[in-house]
Amino acid sequence: MTRVLLIDDDTELTSLLSEYLTEEGFIVETTDDARLGIADAAGNSADIIILDVMMPRMNGIDALQRIRRLSNVPVIMLTAKGDDVDRISGLNLGADDYVAKPCSPGELAARIRAILRRTAGKTVDDAELLKSGDLVLRPSSRTAEWKRQALDLTGTEFSILEVLVRQAGHLVAKEEISRRAFGRGLTPFDRRIDVHISSVRQKLGLRSDGSSWIKSVRGQGYQLVQET
């Protein structure tokens, strides 16, 4: 199993990412001290390191520079949204990729798999398929098929639909969808999920009885209809 070292002092986000990645089959260890990442790299313990730029005691950029002196372990940097300076600095110092915070757990898992395929020269969980009737999702490549045709989804739409497919036939609370798809809880009057669900509904079309493939329960959440 792939071992992931997650280095971030944002305890809420770290908890969410760790839970999601664990469910995806990764072994996850967390710390808020970038210096431990350097020691870990020296011992070649982790298969991949997720490293936040803004860290106490030692920032992520300095830690990455030291890690690269010791190891070629893949590193994904977590950067502030829109901070091109940190992104460019990280890539120049040898980061394999970056993800802007707040990040979707699904996107991070996909980036991990993509990097491991590229650096190890082998497929990581490439055979994993999520199915619900005629709907097929491939989390490793974040691609989808509907009735054997490619389904064009945005990254956010894929993340939301993945949450629903994993619990097809069951009501999923909006709070859970938000945490798993966006990496954070709902805020007051937050309509992001509703807007994205509406778009996915249009792309899936209607069932034979004229109803939607995604049912809504007012004030509670959404449910992907599971064909029997």
- 130-224, what's its fold? Arc Repressor Mutant, subunit A (1.10.10)
Full strand arrangement of the beta sheet holding 130-132: 130-132, 135-138, 143-146, 149-150
pTM equals 0.61
The CATH number of domain 3-120 is 3.40.50.2300:
yes
134 φ/ψ angles, rounded to the nearest 5 degrees: -85, 5
CB 90 within 8 A of CB 100: no
Residue of 36, 30, 37, 33 lying closest to 14 (CA atoms): 30
Element at 118 (helix H, strand E): helix 105-120
Q: What is the mean pLDDT of each run of 10 residues along the chain (228 residues)?
A: 90 92 93 85 85 87 88 86 73 82 86 78 58 90 90 84 93 90 74 87 94 92 86
- As a whole number of angstroms, the distance between CA 89 and CA 57 comes to 19
Domain boundaries, the chain: 3-120, 130-224
Quick: pLDDT tens for 69-119: 888 888 899 987 666 777 777 777 788 888 888 788 988 998 898 788 766
Could you tell me which residues come within 8 angstroms of residue 2 by beta carbon, excluding any fewer than 6 positions away? 25, 26, 27, 47, 48, 112, 116, 124
Residue with tokens 């002196």: 69
